[in-house]
Structure 1
Amino acid sequence: MKIALISDIHANLEALEQVLKVIDQEGVDLIINLGDLVGYNANPNECLELIRARGDILSVVGNHDQAVSNPDKAQDFNIIAYQAVMWSIDQIEADHLNFLSNLPLNQVLEKRYLACHGTPTCADTYIAYLFQSRRVLNLLRRQLNPIQICFFGHTHKRALWYRDARGKVTLQPLQPGKIYLDRECHYLINPGSVGQPRNHNPAASYAVFDTQDYSIQFKLVPYDIQQTQRKILAAKLHPYLAERLAQGI
């Protein structure tokens, strides 16, 4: 089975449309959305409608998805993110808000693969440093067995962490093309962000996992950033949200 992994769309319609267009040409069997459909950008309803209209997308909740359903969860957001959440609450249709409020914290596929936004137990916890990766990999091994791979988002940065049979945790350098995984290891895989990448590359990011040859491939898709920027400014969202898209930060 081929699984496309998308995350952190953040109401960026132009990026989402281009990524789905490319994915549809790849013959994947399933798309997993790792959360944060909304926030930051100007097309929350359109992105929600596009995701919900398809029958091949499995979704989990992100911290911004939680915040538009329960604004108390946005209290610790930075001011720009908080303002975008408040704007989104005013924009999002009631049926879409209901959809977001009912998304699960995680999803398990084939008993071996787990999808979440931040970590398996919290949508707003990061996996960005070695100590965080060790903690989650230990959780997989000790409490979530037989889960071998955790797909996550939240950081907006592509990443591949693994724990080998000896217990050593490593952040693997990413390379072009397929990366073949070891079935004896545990993995944490982040496909990067569709709607607000932070890898210093402005292209939308996603990944494809193949259960047959046990590989992951990270991919980039250019999109019309200027159109997204114009929409952000027209909506009177913070100008920095437009500026950062062109820089991939």
Structure 2
Amino acid sequence: MNRDKFIVLSDIHANLTALKAVLFDIQKQGYSPDAFIILGDIINYGMRPNEVISELSNLPYPIVVNLMGNHEKSLIDSDLNRFSTERGKQMLDYTASILTDNSLLYIKEKMIPSGLYTLDCQGKQLLFLHGNRHDPLWGKLGMDDFSDSYYSTYDYVFSGHTHLPHYMSHYYPDECPRLRNKKKTIFINPGSVGQPRNQNPHAQYVYFELSTCRVHHNAVWYDVEAECQLYPDFLDTFYRERLVLGI
């Protein structure tokens, strides 16, 4: 694949207001992406999964990687066993109750169920995960994982799920004197569009340019209060309230 410029989104979580703010910011920043990369969890926790899926279906750019996250996989499998709280189970049940047939078809036919995908792009090896290599759907890829030699095969590793943005280079032993016997892998998490958890409530995403190694982490203001007002009173307030502080 010869594409060079990408927008990387993860964990939109049915937050249409945040997604629209990101799409507007892409134009405002003057980015001209060749394609989008979606790292999973486009649904649940938020109130407008159908509208988010419609927005993604009508992007003026191709989506070259479209991973399922743990929320999509749990929904299509009707499996709540790995949710640790009753409020999490309640929220997925609610999402299932409002999801349209077209939205369900999009998840089943347009998203990659393994939560993992690789690309050879301009001679670079790119790995995309929702979680980590041991558990691509539910695992959390963080600094403790970077030393795992499995990732040394790749030049870039993109992951989501934690809702915590990161950019980190790790150097693995390698038999290449020209590079001082080191192999570099860059780990990138774009953060969450729709439910950030890094104490920054702004919608977060990444612009990535492979040829120049350019990586822009962006945090975009959106009307959090307008999104919060969409939650019905019978749902647990936890997922609504955490939007305000980004926690």
Counterpart code for 1:126: K
Aligned to 1:52: 57
Normalising by structure 1, report the TM-score: 0.84
Aligned to 2:222: 223
Q: Does structure 2 retain, via aligned residues, the 8 Å contact 1:42–1:235?
A: no
Residue 99 of structure 1: how far off its partner (Å):
2.2
Residue 191 of structure 1: how far off its partner (Å):
0.5
Question: Pairwise CA RMSD of aligned residues?
Answer: 1.9
Aligned: 1:162 with 2:169: yes
Determine the C-alpha separation between the residues in 1 that align with 2:203 and 2:242.
13
Aligned: 1:153 with 2:156: no
Q: Does structure 1 retain, via aligned residues, the 8 Å contact 2:12–2:41?
A: yes
Aligned: 1:118 with 2:131: yes
Aligned to 2:23: 20
Percent of aligned positions that are identical:
29
Determine the C-alpha separation between the residues in 2 that align with 1:13 and 1:236.
21
Q: Does the C-alpha gap of structure 1 residues 106 and 240 become closer, same or farther in structure 2, counting only changes over 3 Å?
A: same
SS at match of 2:157: strand
Determine the C-alpha separation between the residues in 1 that align with 2:129 and 2:233.
30
Determine the C-alpha separation between the residues in 2 that align with 1:22 and 1:184.
34
Residue 164 of structure 1: how far off its partner (Å):
0.9
Q: Does structure 1 retain, via aligned residues, the 8 Å contact 2:116–2:136?
A: no
Question: Which one of the candidate residues 85, 89, 95 is aligned to 2:92?
Answer: 85
Counterpart code for 1:194: V
Residue 195 of structure 1: how far off its partner (Å):
0.3
Determine the C-alpha separation between the residues in 1 that align with 2:106 and 2:118.
19
Determine the C-alpha separation between the residues in 2 that align with 1:107 and 1:166.
25
Q: Does structure 1 retain, via aligned residues, the 8 Å contact 2:17–2:227?
A: yes
Q: Runs (4+) of structure 1 moved beyond 6 Å?
A: none
Determine the C-alpha separation between the residues in 2 that align with 1:68 and 1:13.
19
Residue 165 of structure 1: how far off its partner (Å):
4.0
Which deviates the most, 27-36 or 192-201?
Answer: 27-36
Normalising by structure 2, report the TM-score: 0.85
SS at match of 2:147: helix
SS at match of 1:100: helix
Question: Which one of the candidate residues 34, 42, 55 is aligned to 1:37?
Answer: 42
Aligned: 1:70 with 2:77: yes
Gaps of 5+ in 1: 168-182
SS at match of 1:85: helix
Q: Does the C-alpha gap of structure 1 residues 235 and 29 become closer, same or farther in structure 2, counting only changes over 3 Å?
A: farther
Q: How many residues align?
A: 225
1:95-136 C-alpha deviation (Å, 9 max, x unpaired): 221321342132323261122211245211111341x3333x
Q: Does structure 2 retain, via aligned residues, the 8 Å contact 1:61–1:116?
A: no
Find the structure with the greater CA-based Rg.
2
